[in-house]
Amino acid sequence: MDFSLTEEQRLLQESVQRFVQDSYSFEQRRTLMAQPDGFSRDTWAQFAEMGWLALPFEEADGGLGGGPVDTLVMLEALGEGLVVEPLMATVLLAGRALACGGDEAQKARWLAPVLEGRLLAALAAYERRGRHTPGWVETRAARIGERWRLDGEKAAVLHGECADLLLVSARTAGSPGEPKGISLFAVPADSDGLSRTPWQTIDGLRACELTLEAVMLPADALIGEQDAGLALIEAVLDEAAAAQCAEAVGAMAALTRITAEYLRQRKQFGQPLAAFQVLQHRIADMFMETERSRSLAVLAALHARSEDVATRQRAVSAAKVQAGRSGRFVGQQAVQLHGGIGISDELSVGHYFKRLTALDARLGSADWHLARFAAQPTRG
Amino acid sequence: MDLQFSAEERAFQQDVREFLASELTPELKRAVRLTPTVFVEKDIADEWHARLNRRGWLAPLWPRQYGGAEWTPVQQFIYESEAARAGAPTTIPMGVRMVGPVIIRFGSEAQKAHYLPRILSGEDTWCQGYSEPGSGSDLASLKTRAEPDGEDYRVNGTKLWTTHAHYANRIFCLVRTSSEGRPQAGISFLLIDMDAPGISVTPIRSLSGDHEVNQVFFDNVRVPQANRIGDEGQGWTCAKFLLEHERGGVFSHRLMAMVQALRHLMVDTADGESALSEDPHWRERLAALEVRVLSLEVTEMRVLSRLKAGEPPGAESSMLKIEWSELQQALTELAMDIAGPYAQFFEPGRPLYALAGHTLGDERLASIPPEYLNTRAATIFAGTNEIQRNIIARLVLGA
């Protein structure tokens, strides 16, 4: 039993923290977000140079051989900076799906450039009617001779707008909701019949709705096993959700620190706000919510690649429930404790609040994960 | 980071399992299940303490030279986890976990030689004299006086909420030996025999009808000055040391055992055609608490691993107190809701495990309401949760 970081993890943590401190101030972030893609390609190239895009991949795939705990360390530190780069979409979702499901040729073609920062990819696993459930797939993929034909609509594709490659789940058999019969396809963004309706997220990211109308793909567009794609997709979503919980912890810790600082400085009735017990208790609760989430984010990371699917789902769902609930509490209280200025867009506080709110809506909400956690068979 | 135990730790875990398999009798287990109070009754405690003591495990944190086991934080975690899963009694802390460590840390050689073996043998049963009618959270304002009288002190005053004073033959007390300077500076730590003339004990019945706590009165009680631990005026230091001992610990596995018991209760509770356990509403209510218990388990491990590395636990030790007490309350509240119409059922007989039969058939229903009622105390004792939040805020605000 050991919760300490290795020397390598400590160095990674320091370098990400230093990056956030030096290059990701609130003002700098505004400039980055004003770029056409909603983030800076230069910063993305910097991420690649630092090796962050290669962190969670096997050395054989050109990665650094990092595991979910390394990802946790990186995401927690990036969470403090409210980064807007498509790390989640390209690396942790699409990248991991390619790494776990792709064959050598597919990895050479698509994963290698992801690691180098030359290709942006996104995972289109959700549909409007399926909400947070990746098993609800209406989009169909039909085999036409040597090719696949895809028709359907995918929803809330994170960073799908700027992606060069979209990994799309489609039904090759069965009906919506059935776990069997789902397959994953690599769809180049410039494919005929593919159209995107871009939208912005409240926390400064980009997303899109995706429509596929008679999109024709070669046989080797199939990633992983035909009809058995759901297991792959769920594994990838769980590992990414674990990482996202770490990101939420980083944001919560920063927000609690910023709020504590404000309580020390702001004076009313002739004394600092920090002198009022009702506010002291609120900040104590913010601290506790953050630590609750931190504990489960660690547990989720430790089980994120577990072979035992029930163990993985249990830990990830617990973490996601807690991060969702705590994130809401910490965000709302930070705004409340800042008073009027808390609702201004000029202050970082509101942006942390929006990030935490959006994180709960991605990769399964707290409610969705609570239902999954509650549905697990009784143990012991 | 990893959650794995070392080979030695796994061997220890095996020892604990074997110990529990041979020593934890069905009668003891049943008594634990049907204990609605904070601590088990004295007969159950005495039997369990004796079994632990024979194995050398009654005082896991004491140094070996005093008969302790000197467990590492991880061993402690393993024992607590296995004991909770098996449904073993918790040890009564007043002797082993409270006054014992204070005597070891601040007592004289003579005091150690006299008192420590008696704690282990069960010859002495201790109670704690801290709170007073006018001094709850503001403990340093306590008024029970000890005035020098030759070789002795004369003690006058009263102590409140004294758990098991009706069983104890000794009490450790915070008393005022001076009213000069800061209130904390005039406090001393005294060991007093409960059979000394001038001591009287009045029972206090709790909401549930249980008798666990008391008020203790001191009327010109003569106590040898040799019974003082440490110097005069050092009592507050001893008290703080003790509170920190009281605050640490491993609780999540007991809570997880409660989660498990509620799961079974939901399976056994019919609601029309099906059981409560088949209804997502009830499953999710339990799941929401189970998530929190899981989180607490990891927080406890994080604190233990910090202690193992010789670092102070920080704000998390106050957080642990808040977490386990609030979760315990939430779980007993859910039990009440599961009990439905029987949440209002009152069983006057005590102890519950000694009753011949149970009115409602299912004996679990008899302990749910009193457990819920008694658990209201959890957020009040050992430093109220409001005081704990003050402590956390002070650390977070850096003020």
The SS3 of residue A290 is helix
Q: What is the pLDDT of residue B312?
A: 75
Confidence class of residue B248 from pLDDT cuts 50, 70 and 90? Answer: low
**Chain B residues touching A293 at Cβ < 8 A:** 295
CA A201 – CA A204 distance, rounded (Å): 6
Question: Which helix (H) or strand (E) element contains residue A35?
Answer: none
**pLDDT tens digits, one per residue of B68-117:** 999 998 999 999 999 999 999 999 999 999 999 999 999 999 999 999 99
- Residue A33 within a domain: yes
Query: What's the mean pLDDT in B120-148?
Result: 97
Q: Could you tell me the CATH number of the domain that includes residue A326?
A: 1.20.140.10
| Domain match, A236 and A127 both | no
Q: B311 — contact with chain A (CB < 8 Å)? A: no
Q: What is the DSSP letter of A57?
A: S
Q: Is residue A341 in a domain?
A: yes
Q: What is the pLDDT of residues B273-313, one digit of tens each?
A: 999 999 999 999 999 999 999 999 999 999 888 888 877 77
Which of B295, B297, B396 lies at the smallest CB-CB distance from A287?
B396
The partner residue sitting opposite B319, judged by closest CB among A69, A288, A370, is: A288
Q: Which residues contact B92 (CB under 8 A, 6 or more apart)?
A: B39, B40, B45, B49, B125, B164
> Which residues in chain A have Cβ-Cβ distances shorter than 8 Å to B398?
260, 264
Average pLDDT over residues A229-237: 98
Q: Which of B9, B291, B292, B301 to mutate to test the interface with A (most CBs of A within 10 A)?
A: B291
Q: Which residues of A touch B (CB under 8 A)?
A: 1-5, 69, 256, 260, 263-264, 274, 277, 280-281, 283-288, 291-293, 295-296, 298-299, 301-302, 318, 321-322, 370-371, 373-375, 378, 380
Is residue B23 within 8 A of residue B51, CB to CB? The reply is: yes
Can you give the pLDDT at residue A365?
Answer: 98
pLDDT of residue A122 exceeding 80: yes
At A345-359, the pLDDT tens digits run 999 999 999 999 999
User: What is the structure's pLDDT at B307?
Assistant: 81
Residue A287 lies in a domain: yes
Q: What is residue A377's three-state secondary structure?
A: coil
Q: Do B287 and A292 touch (CB under 8 A)?
A: no
Residue B226: per-residue pLDDT: 97
Q: Which of A177, A211, A227 is the last residue of a domain?
A: A227
Question: What is the C-alpha separation between A156 and A116, in angstroms, rounded?
Answer: 26
pLDDT at residue A177 is higher than 80 = yes
CB pair distance less than 8 Å for B267 and A378: yes
Q: Report the alpha-carbon angle B263-B328-B332, nearest 5.
A: 55
Superfamily covering domain B7-91: Acyl-CoA dehydrogenase/oxidase, N-terminal domain (1.10.540.10)
> Is residue A272 over pLDDT 60?
yes
Return the amino acid letter for A177: G
Residues in chain B closer than 8 A to A302 (CB atoms): 1-3
* Distance to chain B for A377, nearest Cα, Å: 11
The predicted structure's pLDDT at residue A380:
46
**A286 in the same domain as A188:** no
Taking the C-alpha atoms of residue A26 and residue A41, their distance in angstroms, rounded to an integer, is 18
CATH 2.40.110.10 given to domain B126-242:
yes
Contact call for B290 and A373, based on CB within 8 A: yes
* pLDDT score recorded for residue B246: 60
Residues A338 and A290 in one domain: yes
Are A80 and A216 part of one and the same domain?
A: no
Structure confidence at residue B317 (pLDDT): 83
Residues 274-303 of B with CB under 8 A from A: 277, 280, 283-284, 286-288, 290-292, 294-299, 301-302
Report how far residue A81's alpha carbon sits from residue B184's, in angstroms, rounded to the nearest whole number. 45
Tell me: do A161 and A291 sit in the same domain.
no
Contact A223, A184 (CB under 8 A): yes
A257, two tokens: 């620190």
Nearest to A91, CA basis, from A56, A59, A64: A56
Please check whether residues A61 and A188 belong to one and the same domain. no
How confident is residue B243, by pLDDT bands cut at 50, 70 and 90? confident
Is the domain of A18 the same as that of A79? yes
Range of the domain at A214: 122-227
Tokens encoding B162:
């004294």
* pLDDT higher than 70, residue B247: no
Q: The CATH number of the domain where A51 resides is what?
A: 1.10.540.10
The mean pLDDT value of chain B amounts to 95
Domain-located, residue A1? no
Question: Does A186 map to a domain?
Answer: yes
B314-333: per-residue pLDDT in tens?
Answer: 788 899 999 999 999 999 99
Using a CB–CB cutoff of 8 Å, tell me whether B384 touches chain A: no
Q: Which of B77, B263, B323 is opposite residue A378, by nearest beta carbon?
A: B263
Residues A370, A234, single domain; the answer is yes
- For chain B, the domains span 7-91, 126-242, 248-397
Q: How near does any CA of chain B get to the CA of A347, in Å?
A: 20
CB burial of B120-151 (b: ≥16 within 10 Å; e: otherwise) equals bebebbbbbbbbbeebbeebbebebbbeeeee
CATH of B248-397, one of 1.20.140.10, 3.40.30.10, 3.90.870.10, 2.40.50.100: 1.20.140.10
At A294-350, the pLDDT tens digits run: 999 999 999 999 999 999 999 999 999 999 999 999 999 999 999 999 999 999 999
With an 8 Å Cβ cutoff, are A295 and B283 in contact? no
Rounded to whole angstroms, how far apart are CA atoms B23 and B308?
A: 29
**A337 and A258 part of one domain:** yes
Tell me the residue type at A108.
Answer: A
- The helix (H) or strand (E) run that includes residue A295 is helix A277-303
Beta carbons of B129 and B156 less than 8 angstroms apart? no
- Mean per-residue pLDDT for B38-46? 96
The model's pLDDT over B351-381, given as tens digits with 9 standing for 90+, comes to 999 998 888 989 999 999 999 999 999 999 9
Q: What is the CB neighbour count within 10 angstroms for residue B46?
A: 15
Same domain, A288 and A327: yes
Residue A21 pLDDT? 96
Question: Do A155 and A202 form a contact (C-beta atoms < 8 A)?
Answer: no
The mean pLDDT of A365-376, rounded to a whole number, is: 97
Same domain for A355 and A235?
yes
Least confident of A1-5, A115-119, B208-212: A1-5
If DSSP codes are grouped into helix, strand and coil, which group holds residue A152? strand
**Token reading at A4:** 């300490």
What string of DSSP letters covers A220-274?
GGEESSTTBHHHHHHHHHHHHHHHHHHHHHHHHHHHHHHHHHHHHH-EETTEEGG
Is the alpha carbon torsion for B353, B359, B363, B367 positive or negative?
A: negative
Q: Is residue A249 included in any domain, yes or no? A: yes
Residue-wise pLDDT for A127-149, tens only, equals 999 999 999 999 999 999 999 99
On whether residue A380 sits in a domain, the answer given is no
Task: Name the residues of B annotated as catalytic.
Answer: 246
> A318 to chain B: nearest residue by CA?
B291
- SS3 for chain B, per residue? CECCCCHHHHHHHHHHHHHHHHHCCHHHHHHHHCCCCCCCCHHHHHHHHHHHHHHCCCCCCCCHHHCCCCCCHHHHHHHHHHHHHHCCCCCCHHHHHHHHHHHHHHCCHHHHHHHHHHHHHCCCCEEEECCECCECCCHHHCCCEEEEECCEEEEEEEEECCCCCCCCCEEEEEEECCCCCCHHHHEEEEEEECCCCCEEEEEEECCCCCEEEEEEEEEEEEEEHHHEECCCCCHHHHHHHHHHHHHCCCCHHHHHHHHHHHHHHHHHCEECCEEHHHCHHHHHHHHHHHHHHHHHHHHHHHHHHHHHCCCCCCCHHHHHHHHHHHHHHHHHHHHHHHHHHHHHCCCCCCCHHHCCCCCCCCCHHHHHHHHHHHHHHHHCCCCCHHHHHHHHHHHHHCC
- Identify the band that residue B250 occupies on the pLDDT scale cut at 50, 70 and 90: confident
Inter-chain touch A287–B304, beta carbons under 8 Å: no
For position A379, what pLDDT does the model report? Answer: 56
The answer as to whether A169 is a domain residue is: yes
> How many structural domains is chain A composed of?
3
The domain boundary residue, chosen from A227, A252, A283: A227
Q: Looking at the structure, tell me whether residues A296 and A318 fall in a common domain.
A: yes
Query: What are the φ/ψ torsions at residue A59 (nearest 5 degrees)?
Result: -60, -35
Exposure of B383 in the CB half-sphere (CA atoms within 13 A): 22
A180 pLDDT exceeds 60?
yes
Tell me which H or E stretch contains A353: helix A348-361
Indicate the pTM of the whole model. Answer: 0.95
Taking the C-alpha atoms of residue B38 and residue B56, their distance in angstroms, rounded to an integer, is 25
Q: Specify the DSSP class assigned to residue A2.
A: B
Helix (H/G/I), strand (E/B), else coil: A126: coil
pLDDT above 70 covers a percentage of chain A that reads 99
Q: Which amino acid is at A231?
A: A
* Residue pairs between chains A and B whose CB atoms are closer than 8 Å: 120
Q: Cα separation of B272 and A117, whole Å?
A: 59
Angle at B150 between CA B149 and CA B153, to 5 degrees: 40
Cross-chain Cβ contact B284/A370 below 8 Å: yes
Residue type, A129: R
B residues 314..333 contacting A (CB < 8 A): 315-316, 319, 322-323
Structural tokens at position A28: 């700098």
Distance separating alpha carbons of residues A49 and B108, to the nearest angstrom: 64
